[in-house]
């Protein structure tokens, strides 16, 4: 039988399975006719580390992803990843990818999984091009995307003064003036941390602060932090890099231009969980709820990284969650085979 010209209808499912083989840059194919032990959705630090751990356990693994690296590609410099004191986001992605390629794990890029369906004890993943892949378990590691301001200049100056991770990129602005946008714990904590080594922090928020009272009391005592409450960023301006922001007072509608070299936007992230929220339990922020083994509300489906309800979102935490998930998945499959 020639797989490329065959269609198979899976029991219990109403759609057909296209058995064409998709060629990859790495030279290995993700094969629709293969029953995988684990299919991983996403190739950020959680997905990549899970794949490496799973393949070393002898599992048959494949990855389906829109891109390699996830949110790391939006990070200019990483200085807090264990064993690597200073690396660009691009270089760190390259190191992760090279490690992954050493295990010859098939990766299907430029595809989104639009649904996960049950076929008796198996899962069938349907992609945005209509193709289908089967697996005994699934790991969702689709990450999150930063919530953006949506103002002129924001996209133009990403990596040129605009950042969505103060912890990652804040040290780049030592001794200079920066603006932090946001009113939650992350924004206020970022402003407090930045105040230790920048010249001045201007914290901009449109309404009532949502940060804990203890943080608000602490930040009010820091002399080089100015709080602009009732203001929004109207525009981000610069030449090759950011050099100012335009703020608007929501009460008076007056505008002012503030000199700055960095705009650190901390208004939250949006988990990439849209395709799965009707299948799995999610919380009020649409994050996938997981237990200590990264297991979701559906047995056999696991999740790791920033798409989950884990409180702290960091590269190293996501990578660790991926390893934890892979080990838990291996134990799950061992029990299933008994």
Q: Which range, of 46-55, 74-83, 130-139, 175-184, averages the lowest pLDDT?
A: 74-83
Q: What is the pLDDT of residues 191-207, one digit of tens each?
A: 999 999 999 999 999 99
Do both 247 and 104 map to the same domain? no
* Mean predicted confidence (pLDDT) in 9-28: 38
Please report whether residue 155 resides in a domain.
Answer: no
Would the pLDDT of 114 be above 80? yes
Do both 23 and 97 map to the same domain? yes
CB 178 within 8 A of CB 263: yes
Do both 38 and 118 map to the same domain? yes
> How many angstroms separate the Cα of 85 from the Cα of each of 2, 79, 82, 168?
51, 5, 7, 12
- Going by pLDDT thresholds of 50, 70 and 90, the confidence category of residue 18 is very low
Q: Which range, of 63-77, 109-123, 138-152, 275-289, averages the lowest pLDDT?
A: 63-77
pLDDT of residue 8: 30
pLDDT of residue 269: 87
Do both 274 and 249 map to the same domain? no
Half-sphere exposure of 134 (CA within 13 A, CB side): 18
Please report whether residue 157 resides in a domain.
Answer: no
CB 236 within 8 A of CB 157: yes
Q: How far apart are CA 56 and CA 311, in angstroms?
A: 29
pLDDT of residue 153: 97
Please report whether residue 154 resides in a domain.
Answer: no
Strand 200-205 with 225-229, pairing: parallel
Per-residue DSSP letter, 21 = P
- Residue 12 phi/psi, 5-degree rounding, is 85, 0
Q: Which of 241, 265, 289 is the last residue of a domain?
A: 265
Would the pLDDT of 121 be above 80? yes
Do both 301 and 180 map to the same domain? no
- Going by pLDDT thresholds of 50, 70 and 90, the confidence category of residue 10 is very low
* Mean predicted confidence (pLDDT) in 300-326: 95
Residues 6+ apart with CB under 8 A from 146: 71, 74, 164, 265, 268, 269, 270
Would the pLDDT of 162 be above 90? yes
**In the chain, % of residues over pLDDT 70:** 91
Do both 108 and 81 map to the same domain? yes
pLDDT of residue 4: 32
Q: What is the pLDDT of residues 272-292, one digit of tens each?
A: 999 998 999 999 999 999 999
Please report whether residue 151 resides in a domain.
Answer: no
* Mean predicted confidence (pLDDT) in 83-108: 90
CB 152 within 8 A of CB 246: no
Catalytic residue numbers, as ranges: 165, 168-169
- Going by pLDDT thresholds of 50, 70 and 90, the confidence category of residue 150 is very high
Do both 195 and 95 map to the same domain? no
Do both 113 and 43 map to the same domain? yes
* Mean predicted confidence (pLDDT) in 283-308: 97
Do both 250 and 169 map to the same domain? yes
Do both 8 and 117 map to the same domain? yes
Q: How many domains does the chain have?
A: 2
Range of the domain at 211: 162-265
Single pTM value for the model: 0.76
Do both 214 and 277 map to the same domain? no
Would the pLDDT of 15 be above 70? no
What value does the CA radius of gyration of the chain take, rounded to a whole number of Å?
22
Q: Looking at residue 225, which CATH number applies to its domain?
A: 3.50.50.60
Would the pLDDT of 296 be above 80? yes
Strand 113-119 with 122-127, pairing: antiparallel
Of 303, 305, 307, the C-alpha closest to 291 is: 303
pLDDT of residue 74: 66
More confident site: 8 or 209: 209
Q: What is the pLDDT of residues 236-252, one digit of tens each?
A: 999 999 999 999 999 99
Contacts by 308-315, CB closer than 8 A, 24 or more apart: 308/271, 309/283, 313/144, 313/269, 314/80, 314/167, 315/45, 315/72, 315/78, 315/81, 315/92
């Amino acid at each position: 039988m020639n797989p490329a010209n065959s269609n198979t209808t899976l029991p219990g499912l109403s759609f057909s399975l296209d058995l064409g083989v998709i060629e990859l840059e790495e030279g290995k194919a993700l094969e629709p006719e293969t029953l995988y032990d684990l299919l991983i959705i996403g190739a950020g630090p959680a997905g990549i580390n899970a794949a490496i751990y799973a393949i070393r356990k002898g599992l048959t693994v494949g990855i389906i992803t829109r891109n390699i690296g996830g949110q790391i590609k939006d990070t200019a410099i990483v200085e807090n990843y264990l064993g690597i004191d200073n690396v660009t986001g691009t270089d760190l992605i390259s190191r992760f990818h090279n490690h992954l390629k050493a295990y010859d794990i098939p990766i299907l890029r430029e595809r989104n999984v639009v649904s996960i369906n049950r076929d008796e004890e198996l899962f069938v993943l349907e992609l945005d091009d209509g193709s289908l892949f089967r697996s005994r378990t699934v790991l969702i590691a689709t990450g999150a995307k930063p919530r953006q301001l949506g103002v002129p200049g924001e996209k133009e100056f990403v990596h040129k003064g605009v950042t969505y991770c103060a912890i990652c990129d804040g040290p780049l602005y030592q001794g200079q003036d920066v603006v932090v946008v946001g009113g939650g714990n992350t924004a206020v904590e970022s402003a407090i941390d930045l105040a230790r080594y920048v010249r001045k922090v201007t914290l901009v928020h449109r309404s009532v602060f949502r940060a804990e009272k203890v943080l608000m009391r602490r930040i009010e005592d820091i002399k080089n932090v100015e709080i602009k409450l009732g203001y929004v960023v109207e525009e981000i301006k610069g030449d090759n890099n950011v050099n100012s922001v335009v703020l608007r007072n929501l009460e008076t509608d007056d505008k002012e231009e503030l000199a700055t070299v960095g705009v650190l936007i901390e208004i939250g992230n949006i988990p990439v969980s849209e395709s799965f929220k009707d299948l799995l339990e999610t919380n009020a922020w649409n994050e996938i709820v997981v237990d200590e083994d990264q297991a979701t509300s559906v047995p056999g489906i696991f999740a790791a990284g920033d798409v989950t309800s884990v409180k702290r979102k960091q590269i190293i935490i996501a990578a660790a969650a991926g390893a934890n998930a892979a080990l838990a998945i291996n134990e799950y499959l061992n029990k299933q085979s008994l």
